[in-house]
Amino acid sequence: YTFFHNTLKIYPLNETNIWFLLSIVLLLFTLTAFVLTLFASRWTTKPMLILLVLVSSMAAYFMNTYNVVIDDSMIRNTLQTDTKESMDLLSIKQVLYFLFLGLLPAYIIYKTPIQYASVKKECIAKFKQLFLLLAIIALTVFLFFKPYASFVREHKPLRFTTNPLYWIYSLGHYTYTTLNSGKIMVKPLGEDAKIIKKAGDKPKIVVLVVGEATRADHLSLNGYKRETTPQLKEEGIINFPNVYSCGTSTAASVPCMFSVYDKADYSYKKGIRTENVLDVLKHTNDISILWRDNNSDSKGVALRVDYEYYKSYINNTKCSDGECRDEGMLVGLDSYIKAQKGKDILIILHQMGNHGPAYYKRYPKAFEKFTPVCQTNQLEACTKEEINNAYDNAILYTDDFLTKTIELLKKYGNSYKTAMIYLSDHGESLGEKGIYLHGLPYFMAPDAQTHIAALMWMNAPFKNDFNLTALDTDKKWSQDYLFHSLLRLFDVQTKVYDPKLDIFKAGDKDKL
C-alpha cells in the first residue's frame, strides 16, 4: 500500500500515466516471482511462501502505520529490541494485519496441494520460468525506459517501500554483513592512554546521560513555545541547539557516538571490531566506569566495563505499573561514588526517555502537564496535539531527571570537579507528513529524526579548566565530537585523540 500510495502522488492515475503505472505493477510482480522461483523447490516452496506472507504482513503494518522503512538498520534495531519494547508496539490493528494478511494466506498456502514432477523436469521448468520472467522484466523496462530512468533517478526513496522486495534485500544485506563478520576480534584502541594531571588537581565525576528519541525543537531551551525544561533553565546549562545524530535508531547511533570513527567512516563491522572511548578511558587504569541501562541494552558499547540493567524490578527501585523510571538509575550512586575512593569516575545513564510510540507511559502521572494526551500506540488515531502533549510530558520528566542528576553532582562539588552531559541518541517524527517514530535511512530522514537535544552542566572548578566563552554553542555539532571531548574532560593523553573533534579545543587552556 505504502509504495503505491506514494507512487500515485507522483504519477496520478490518468490517461498519461495509466500504462506506466500498470507496467510498475507488472514489474514488481515479475521481480518478486523471479526471486521466489530462484529459491523454490519441493522442499522450500511452501515454507518460503508462508514465511514471506507472515513477515510481509508485519512489514506492511509498520510501513502503512508509521511510514517506516524496513532496511538492514531497522532489522538490526528490531532484533535488539527487548520484549517490553515490543509489547509497547502491539495493537489490535497489528493483530488484524497478522491474521488477515499473514496467518490466513499462510493457512491457504499450507492447505493447497502442489504437484511436483521429477527433479530433472522441475529443473527444466524452473529455467524456463526464470527465462520467461527475465524476458518480461527486460521488455517492460525497454518499453518504458525513459519513465523508468526518470523514476529511478529522481524518486530513489520509493524503492525502500516495496514490500516484500526491499525487506528481502535488506535481510540479505543484514545477514551478509553480520555473518560475514566471522569471528569477532576486537582491535585494541588507545592502549597508550594516560591521565595528565596537575599537582593538587581534584578528581572528576562525569555523568553522561544518553537520551532516547529527544528532538531538539521540543526543548524550551531551544526556543520551543512550551516550557518543557523549566528546571534546567535555572541550572546554568550550556545548551547546544544545533547537534545532529550519527544515525536514526538506537542500534545505529549509540555504537557510533562512542566510536573513534566519525559518521562518514563508521560501519557496523568497524564498530564491533574496534574498542570504543570507554575502553580508551579504561586503559588509563585511573577512571572508574559504570554503565546503568534503563533502555534495551548498550548495543555492545559497555561489553568491557561495569554494567547494570535497570529496566527491571531487580535493580530499579522506581518501578510501577510495568514501567521502570529513569530516576531509578540515580539510586545508589552515592555508595558507588564513595567506593571509588577519590578516583576519576564516568557514569553513563542510558534513558528510556521518549521511547515511542507509547509516549504516555514514559512519565509518572505527576508530569502530565500538557493534556489531552494520546493514550495509545496507534499514533495515527490521535490528533497532532495529543501526540505532542504526550511527547512533551516525557521531556518534562527528562527535565526533572536531569535536574536530579545535577543535584546529585552538586553534593560532591567540594571534593570533585563534576559535570553532566546529555546527548540524545536520535530524534523522533511525530506525524509530520504522515511519518512517525524514527529509523528512516539517514539520507531521507527528516530533520526531526536527526536534529537532537544536547546540553551540558559543569560545576565552577570544572568550568575553570576551559574558556567556555570561546565555545561556539550555536555551531553545527555532531555526535562525532563525543569521543574526543570525553578524553579532554578527563585530561587523557593518547595518540588516538583528535583535537579537531574536541568541542573544548577552541577555549582549551591546556593544549594536549
What does the block give as the cell for 396? Answer: 518534562
**Residues in Cβ contact with 335 at an 8 Å cutoff, skipping those fewer than 6 apart:** none
Cell of 358: 507509547
* pLDDT of 506: 63
As given in the structure block, the three cell numbers for residue 510 are 591546556
Give the whole-angstrom CA distance, residue 214 versus residue 391. 9
Q: How many helices (H) and strands (E) does the chain have?
A: 18, 16
Tell whether omega for the bond before 372 is within 30 degrees of 0, i.e. cis: yes
The whole-angstrom distance between residue 384's C-alpha and the CA centroid of its chain comes to: 23
Beta strand spans in 270-353 (E): 287-293, 306-309, 319-320, 323-324, 344-350
Contact between residue 412 and residue 420 where contact means Cβ atoms under 8 Å apart? no
Residue 182 confidence (pLDDT): 62
What pLDDT score does 130 carry? 96
Strand pairing category for 436-437 and 429-430: antiparallel
What secondary structure letter does DSSP report for 263? T
pLDDT at 180: 67
pLDDT of 195 reads: 96
Q: How many CA atoms lie within 13 A of 488 on its CB side?
A: 25
Cα(493)–Cα(35) distance, rounded to whole angstroms?
54
Nearest CA to 329 out of 304, 306, 352 is that of 352
Three state DSSP letters for 177-245? HHHCCCCCCCECCCCCCEECCCCCCCCEEEEEEEECCCEHHHCHHHCCCCCCCCCHHHCCCEECCCEEC
Q: Where are the domains of the chain?
A: 1-180, 204-507
Query: Cα(268)–Cα(186) distance, rounded to whole angstroms?
Result: 13
Which of 476, 448, 453 is closest to 239 using CA atoms? 453
Q: What cell does 129 get?
A: 520460468
The amino acid sitting at 188 is P
Helices 165-179 and 18-39, axial angle in degrees (round to 10)? 40
For 352-416, strand residue ranges (E) read none
Q: Kindly state the DSSP code that residue 508 receives in the 8-state scheme.
A: B
CB burial of residue 292 (10 Å; 0-12, 13-18, 19+): buried
Q: Give the residue among 142, 207, 264 at the shortest CA–CA distance from 411.
A: 207
Residues 6+ apart with CB under 8 A from 162: 3, 28
Q: What pLDDT sits at residue 184?
A: 77
- Smallest CA-to-CA distance from 465 within 507, 498, 416 is with 507
- Classified as helix, coil or strand, 466 is strand
Cβ(343)–Cβ(287) under 8 Å?
Answer: yes
Provide the whole-model pTM. 0.89
CA dihedral 437, 440, 444, 447 (to 10 degrees): 40
Grid cell locating 60: 506492511
Residue 224 makes CB contacts below 8 A (sequence gap 6+) with: 217, 218
pLDDT in tens, 312-367: 999 999 998 889 999 999 999 999 999 999 899 999 999 999 999 999 999 999 99
Secondary structure in 3-state letters for 47-100: HHHHHHHHHHHHHHHHHHHHCCCCCHHHHHHHHCCCHHHHHHHCCHHHHHHHHH
Residue whose C-alpha is closest to residue 504's, from 492, 283, 287: 492
Q: Does residue 165 contact residue 59 with C-beta atoms inside 8 Å?
A: no
pLDDT given at position 116: 86
Place of cell 516471482: 33
* pLDDT score recorded for residue 512: 37
Question: Do residues 64 and 174 make contact, with C-beta atoms less than 8 angstroms apart?
Answer: no
Residue type for 504, please? F
Fold assignment, 204-507? Alkaline Phosphatase, subunit A (3.40.720)
Mean pLDDT in runs of 10 for the chain (512 residues)?
88 91 95 94 94 96 92 86 82 95 97 90 93 96 91 84 93 81 83 90 98 98 98 97 98 97 95 97 98 96 97 94 95 97 96 97 97 95 97 99 99 97 98 95 96 98 92 96 98 97 74 40
The closest alpha carbon to 122, from 38, 30, 42, 35, belongs to: 42
